[in-house]
Chain A
C-alpha cells in the first residue's frame, strides 16, 4: 500500500494509531513525485530537504491538531512566506512573499505540512495549464491531454498520487474544471467563505480559494480548516463555519435537485451526456427528487464573465510594473518605457490579451456598452439561481461539456478555450458554491465530473449530496494507469 495514494481521513486514522509517521507519508510522496513528475509537470516548487525537515519537525508538534502531519500542496498564486510564489509568470520570477496568505496560516495552525507549489495557467488565465511559464502540466490519465485549468497542477498532482491534497483557486471554474478532467474532487466555496488575503488577485469579485482532494470527506475536512472571517479580507463573511465533515454523512432522501436544460448543449460529448443520465438515476435511487429546470440566462454567462473578469484583472495586474517586486526590464529609456517593456516581456500572450480586453471594457466610450452592461446581465444570472434555489436544494450539471482535450488543441483560439468554462462560470458570477466529483469515464477511459451547485454558504448541502453519490459509486477509487505501472 502506497501512502501517497491515501486520503487525508485515512492517513489521520493511521497517524492516530501511530502505524505511520508524517515522515513516512512525505517519503512516499517524494518517491511518487520523483517517478512521475518529470512527465506530468504538476509541481513548480518543491524542496525535498525542506519537506523532510518539516516532517521530522512535526514529531515535536501537537498531534491533536486536525491536520497534524498531513501534506498539502499549494497553487502558485497563494503567498507562502519566503517561498517562490510566481503565478507561473515570468513577471513574478524570483518573488518570495514576506507574509503568508491567511489560508496558509490556517493550514499551519492545523498542523499541515506545506509541500510546495503547483503549476497553473499564468495568473490563472486559462482552462488548460498551457499558459504557465514553466510549461504545461499533463493529464495523468492521458499524457497527450491537458489536465484542465487553471489549477491544473493541483488537480494533476492529487490524481497522480504526487499529492494527498492541494489548494487551488477558482475564478470561473479553475478548481472544478481541472478536478473534473483529472478525476478528483474540487470545491469552490461561496464567495466570502474563505479569506482571499494573500491570494494574488485575478478578479476580486469572483476569486475563491478551495480544496482539491481524492474524496468528498477530505474536501469537507480542508474546507472547515480554511473557512471563516478574516479581518485582512473585508469581503470575507462574518458567518460561523459549519462542522462540514460531520454534517455530510446524512442521507439525501427527499432532497430536491434541479437539472437545468440549458446545460445540455450542442457539442456536448455523448459520453458526458449519457453519464449525466446515469448520475440522475443514481441520485434518484438514493432518494433525491430530480427535475428539469431552466436557468434562462445561461448562454450569456461566458460573455459577462470575459468582460467582468478581464476588467477586474486589468486593474489588479497594474501592480506588476517592475518597481516593487519581480522582473524589471533593464536598459529602458524612461520610466514609462520601463513599465511598457517590463510588462511586454514579463506577461505571456493570454495575460496581455486579457489585460487589453479588460482595458477596453473599462475605457471611456465603451464602459457603458460593455462593462456596465455585463454587470447588469450578471444581475439576471444571479436572479436565475435565486429563483431556482427557491424550489430546489441543489442544481446538478456536467462540470465540463467534454473530457480533457489534447495539448495544443485550443491554445491558438482563445474564444474556443473560453467556451470550455461554459458550465462553471455562472457559479462565480452568482457567488454560489460548487463542487465537482467523478461521475464516470468515457469510452477512452477519461474521467468525467458531476458539478453540484448550492445555495450561498450552504457548502454542507452540496458536500452531503456529493458524499452520498460517492459512497454509492466506485468512480473515485479508479486511479490513472501511470500510477499502476509505476508502483509495480
Chain B
C-alpha cells in the first residue's frame, strides 16, 4: 500500500510526536518504501498458522501478595522534570 502524508500525520498524532513539515515529507517517502518491502509477506499463506508473540512457553507468573521493599519516593522523584511534594507535576488537565 502507499502511505500518504495524512496517514503519517494521523499516526504521529497517535504516537504523540510533533513532526515538522520537512519531517512529514521525508518520513512519508521512507515509510512508503519500507512498507513496499515488508509487503513481500503477502505471498505467504498464513491463515492456519498460530502467531508467535513470544518464543518461550509462557505461563502467568504469580507471587505471594506480600509487601516488599521498594524504592524510596525521593529516589523515584529525583529525575522528574517537575514535582510537588510526593507527586510528578504536569500542566493542568481538567478545566475548572
Contact = CB atoms under 8 A, between A and B. Distances in A.
A330 to B, nearest CB: 8
A231 interface: yes
A353 B31 contact: yes
A340 B23 CA distance: 14
29 contacts: A96-B78, A98-B75, A191-B56, A205-B53, A235-B58, A306-B38, A324-B79, A326-B81, A328-B81, A332-B91, A335-B93, A339-B16, A341-B18, A343-B16, A343-B17, A344-B19, A344-B20, A352-B17, A352-B19, A352-B27, A355-B17, A356-B15, A373-B42, A375-B51, A377-B49, A379-B52, A382-B55, A415-B33, A431-B55
Contact of A360 (B17, B31, B61): B31
Contact of B17 (A340, A375, A377): A340
A94 B78 CA distance: 11
A95 B79 contact: yes
Contact of B11 (A205, A356, A378): A356
B38 A379 contact: no
A195 to B, nearest CB: 13
B44 interface: yes
Contacts, number: 154
The 6 closest A-B pairs by CB, nearest first: A431-B55, A375-B51, A344-B18, A328-B81, A325-B79, A376-B46
A343 B15 contact: yes
A298 to B, nearest CB: 12
Interface in B18-45: 18-20, 23, 27, 30-31, 33-35, 37-42, 44
Interface residues of A, number: 68
Interface in B50-88: 50-56, 58, 61, 63, 71, 75-76, 78-82, 88
Contacts of A456: 55
Interface in A332-356: 332, 334-336, 338-341, 343-345, 347, 349, 352-353, 355-356
B54 to A, nearest CB: 5
B80 A321 contact: no
B2 interface: no
Interface of A: 94-96, 98-99, 191-192, 205, 231, 234-235, 237, 299-300, 302-304, 306-307, 314, 318, 321-328, 332, 334-336, 338-341, 343-345, 347, 349, 352-353, 355-357, 359-360, 363, 370, 372-380, 382, 414-415, 418, 429-431, 456
A409 to B, nearest CB: 16
Given A335-B90, A340-B16, A94 B79 contact: yes
B94 to A, nearest CB: 10
A322 B46 CA distance: 40
Contacts of A336: 16
A321 B16 contact: yes
B84 to A, nearest CB: 13
B78 A98 contact: yes
Contacts of A376: 46, 49-52
Given A231-B63, A326-B79, A353-B31, A300 B53 contact: no
A46 to B, nearest CB: 21
Contact of B14 (A344, A359, A370): A359
A332 B55 CA distance: 42
A299 B40 contact: yes
A335 B55 contact: no
Which among B52, B58, B75 has the greatest number of chain A C-beta atoms within 10 A? Answer: B52
Contacts of A314: 15
A34 to B, nearest CB: 31
A98 B88 contact: no
A415 B16 contact: no
Given A355-B15, A360-B3, A415-B30, 19 more contacts: A95-B79, A98-B76, A99-B71, A192-B55, A235-B54, A235-B56, A304-B41, A324-B79, A326-B81, A328-B81, A335-B92, A343-B17, A347-B17, A352-B12, A359-B14, A359-B15, A360-B7, A375-B51, A380-B44
Nearest to A375: B51
A357 B34 contact: yes
Given A357-B31, A375-B53, A363 B81 contact: no
Identify the interface centre among B56, B75, B76: most chain A CB within 10 Å of its CB: B56
Contacts of B61: 234
Contact of B44 (A339, A345, A377): A377
